Amino acid sequence: MKRLLATTLVAALALPGAALADYTFALVPKAMNNPFFDLARDGCYKAQAELPDVTCKYIGPGEHTEMEQIQIVQDLISEGVDGIAVSPSNAPAMAKALKAARAAGIPVMTWDSDLLEKDKELRSTYVGTKNYDIGVNLAKITQQRHPNGGTICLQTGGAAAANHNERLKGIRDTLAGKDMGPPPGQRLNGEGGWTEISGCPLITNDDGNVAVNGMTDILAANPNLTAFVSTGAFTQWYDNAYRQAVAPYKAKMDAGELSIIVADTLPMQMQQLKEHLSNGQVGQRPFEMGYKAMFILKDLAQGKKVDDPIYTGLDVCTNENADSCLAQ
């Protein structure tokens, strides 16, 4: 920041030991109790260590709460930070809040999740995954295991989260073999041999307990389900709970009668995959997102142009390549 901040405030929200910097850039996740975003935080702090004039201010809702995230962004604008990188939980609502940042001359970028197409002029760039491609690859793994189609339950994050809606569309388009309409796409009703069962998609709002309980109920109520596909890691965050939920179905998974395929490749997820407690993982690179955000915001603060979008790539993992699929 171009103005001094109280030492106590910086110490509370920046990496311990960081000195006051010329720039303070905020990295705003959807929730701070999410291990996916912990990796982005670590990347942000690594960039801070490499940029002597930059402080990473990692701040967001304790849990996935759309209005709290908006309030935090509004507070950051009022505080006068030098740049904001935000992963919007509610894309339309966040766009309204970011109009004030533009009026204040504060550079804004999105990461992990973007704004809607009509609002993208409010941010300079997006860094992260091409979310549609996550859905495409989740669907391809599903098709490889079940070439004749079947019944499917989709699980997603927040209903207004643009990234999850783009992933849902990628799944639906790929399984259907045609365009299923604007994100999140129309429900599958026989297209490509696939039908979404009643009660799905499951909305979790990025809550791990809601996710695993929802999956447990669906699997119990639908013994002939072909595939359960989740657009986020929340399904597998709580390792013991997830293992208990899928253990009764492992024989069906091993026999190719049922597949559980989930986005992301966090450490507990990869161990589950290696033990054949899931059948596929399509992973993002959150550390890289948080790391790059600080460099991008510094460029923007200095009036430089940046590419838009900036994609960080994917890792597509199955039971067969689980030991070698992650990018080094």
Question: For 293-323, how does the pLDDT look when each residue is reduced to its tens digit (9 = 90+)?
Answer: 999 999 999 999 999 999 999 999 999 999 9
Half-sphere exposure of 27 (CA within 13 A, CB side): 36
> Taking a C-beta distance cutoff of 8 angstroms, is the pair 289, 127 a contact?
yes
Q: With H, G, I as helix, E, B as strand and everything else as coil, classify residue 93.
A: helix
Q: What is the pLDDT of residue 327?
A: 79
Q: What is the pLDDT of residue 88?
A: 98
Pull the structure tokens for residue 310. 């900036």
CATH of domain 7-129+285-313: 3.40.50.2300
Q: Give the domain 131-283 fold.
A: Rossmann fold (3.40.50)
What is the distance between the alpha carbons of residues 91 and 131, in angstroms, rounded to a whole number? Answer: 14
Angle CA(130)–CA(135)–CA(137) in degrees, nearest 5?
95
Q: What is the dihedral of CA 215, 220, 223, 226, to 10 degrees?
A: 0
Q: What is the pLDDT of residue 12?
A: 39
Burial of 255 (0-12, 13-18, 19+ CB in 10 A): exposed
Q: Are 7-129+285-313 and 131-283 in the same CATH fold?
A: yes
- Residues ≥6 apart with Cβ < 8 Å to 95: 88, 115, 116, 119, 122
Radius of gyration of the chain (CA): 20
pLDDT in tens, 87-127: 999 999 999 999 999 999 999 999 999 999 999 999 999 99
Walk along the chain (328 residues) and give the pLDDT tens digit of each residue: 443 333 333 333 445 444 455 999 999 999 999 999 999 999 999 999 999 999 999 999 999 999 999 999 999 999 999 999 999 999 999 999 999 999 999 999 999 999 999 999 999 999 999 999 999 999 999 999 999 999 999 999 999 999 999 999 999 999 999 999 999 999 999 999 999 999 999 999 999 999 999 999 999 999 999 999 999 999 999 999 999 999 999 999 999 999 999 999 999 999 999 999 999 999 999 999 999 999 999 999 999 999 999 999 999 999 999 999 997 5
Q: How do the domains of the chain map onto residue ranges?
A: 7-129+285-313, 131-283
DSSP 8-class letter at 45: H
Give me the sign of the Cα torsion angle 279, 37, 171, 133. Answer: negative
What is the distance between the alpha carbons of residues 209 and 190, in angstroms, rounded to a whole number? Answer: 31
Angle CA(81)–CA(87)–CA(92) in degrees, nearest 5?
100
